[in-house]
Amino acid sequence: MSLLQEEREIILSNEFVDTFDFAEVTEFVKNASKDLFISHRFKNSDKMLVQPRGGFPTYKKQFALNEFFVEANVDVLPLTIDSNTRLNDYATASKMLRLSEENDVDMLNGYPLVNHGYRTTRKMITHFNKPVSLRHGTPDARLLIETAIASGIFEIEGGPITYLLPYSKNFPLDKAFLYWKYVERVCANYSELNEPINRESFGPLTATLVPPAITIVIQLLEMLLSLEEGVKSFSVSFSQTGSMNQDIVMGAVIKKMARYYAEQINCGDADIHLVYHQWMGAFPMNKDYAEQLINMSTVIASMVGADKIITKTREEAAGIPTKEANAKTVANTQYTLRILNGLPTIVDEEEEEILTLEVKAIMEAVFNDPADTLWRKVFNSIKNGIIDVPFSPHIINHNEMITIRDAKKNIRIIKRGNVPIPDRCYEYEKAQCDLTKDTTSIVNDIVHDIGIMQ
């Protein structure tokens, strides 16, 4: 028996799993409907796929939410997991699920997939027969991903960096890399049975003034970590920056760079997709304004040429949205996409060149780390600040980089810390901003820049 299989048997002998039947799950994936695979959908459709967010604790409510989504002509269904499951606390999730079922009040902020189990969940997934995307935020997602794939969920979001640096203060990053290596291998192995399982990275990170170069580098590195384990379908992603031009530049550069680096490690045969997140920062309280913002995000996603868009709702500022508001956003986004025709092509060569130079310089610094494997090189690079994510709460993050918006609302690096931004690019970035101000005014500007959409 392989080491991986031994580890799988240990993970799946968890007391919260009702006997995992490896042979039956393998047969299920082998014969599963092609319609459940987003990788298949990407291959056979040019349309930008629309995917909302959403997860409720009980089977009944989740089923009802999915009915609303299907009614609104959804392309990809979400399954968002509750926060206890994300922290591997299945006992609390189980208790809260029972309370939610008995009292009709939601005691969890998502669907506790491990507690529901794959036999139950698979009934829902196969009933709707649409691709489902797993949304979570779990550093150790081994059991969750096994359960998801056995349920018929063939798109897995996340990664060791993007699910850790924005969410955790002190979960060990090296452990996260190893736990995600397991996930990549399991996804790769299942991909050989039918259409590929799609992996998607979480580009928004902290959604707070993250400069494009950092987002792209992390997207590329998670993609490489996934492809080197044998994954054949991968989505890189980012969220609306606040400047349409910067979004378009970012889309162009990330597409080129993803292809380039995949070929560098001889994984050019993998399919690579681009996902765009509607505005992930602080939303306006005014629900009509929120709808305008969402609509604008959809237009930008089209300009960027995204393969999938992930939606927000008019209730974003108020908390977890109702299923009605959530379905409305899907219908509105589909409508906007349908009437958006004849979009002009915009290319900003200077900005593209600057961003490309920055990305290549950081990637080179990561590859030059003396460690023997890619994950260790990436780990060291985060530890020594070659990769620095603004506003990450994690103790390993350097927090030396400072970014602000220029007059056109582009996110600019005004202090690079240990990130190897080439001098020419650094001068260019700083030249776009008014740096004559003292730090106190700059802090006030940052506060303003974070809340620009409110």
Partner 1 sequence: MKVVTGVVGNDIHVVANRLIDLSLRARGFEVFNLGVNTYLEEFFDAVVETGADVLLISSLNGEAEGWSREVKPLKAKYKNLDNLIMMIGGNLVVGSGDAEQIVPKYKNYGFDLVCHQIDLNTGLDWLEELIEKRNLK
229-258: contacts with partner 1 (CB under 8 A): none
Q: Give me the catalytic one of 86, 135, 199, 412.
A: 86
**Nearer to partner 1 (CB atom), residue 327 or residue 402:** 402
157 is catalytic: yes
Query: How far apart are alpha carbons 215 and 387 in whole angstroms?
Result: 10
Q: Does 443 bind partner 1 (CB under 8 A)?
A: yes
Q: Does 317 bind partner 1 (CB under 8 A)?
A: no
Residue 300 CB partners (closer than 8 Å, separation 6+): 240, 244, 247, 248, 276
**Nearer to partner 1 (CB atom), residue 143 or residue 205:** 205
Residue 322: DSSP 8-state: P
Q: Does 320 bind partner 1 (CB under 8 A)?
A: no
Regarding beta strands 402-405 and 308-310, do their DSSP bridges make them parallel or antiparallel, or are they unpaired? unpaired
CB of 146 to partner 1, least distance (A): 28
Query: How far apart are alpha carbons 162 and 143 in whole angstroms?
Result: 19
Q: Does 446 bind partner 1 (CB under 8 A)?
A: yes
Q: Does 454 bind partner 1 (CB under 8 A)?
A: no
Q: Give me the catalytic one of 146, 155, 157, 222.
A: 157
Q: Give the range of 76-84, 127-135, 359-367, 440-448 binding partner 1 by CB under 8 A.
A: 440-448
154-173: contacts with partner 1 (CB under 8 A): 167, 169-170
R_g of the chain computed on alpha carbons? 21
Residue 310: DSSP 8-state: E
**Nearer to partner 1 (CB atom), residue 19 or residue 439:** 439
Q: Does 450 bind partner 1 (CB under 8 A)?
A: yes
Q: Where are the beta strands (DSSP E) in 20-104?
A: 49-51, 77-80
177-216: contacts with partner 1 (CB under 8 A): 206, 208
The answer to whether the CB of 450 falls within 8 A of the CB of 282 is: yes
For residue 354, give the nearest of 301, 253, 425, 296 by alpha carbon: 425
| The residue to which tokens 């002509």 are assigned | 73
Number of residues that bind partner 1 (CB under 8 A): 20
86 is catalytic: yes
The answer to whether the CB of 299 falls within 8 A of the CB of 260 is: no
What backbone torsions phi and psi does residue 135 show, to the nearest 5 degrees? -115, 125
376-405: contacts with partner 1 (CB under 8 A): 390-393, 395, 399, 402
Residue 405 CB partners (closer than 8 Å, separation 6+): 209, 242, 243, 411, 412, 445, 449, 452
Binding string to partner 1 for residues 108 to 147, with x set by CB under 8 A, is what?
Answer: ----------------------------------------
Q: Annotated active-site positions, please?
A: 86, 157
Q: Tell me which residues touch partner 1 (CB under 8 A).
A: 167, 169-170, 206, 208, 390-393, 395, 399, 402, 438-440, 443-444, 446-447, 450
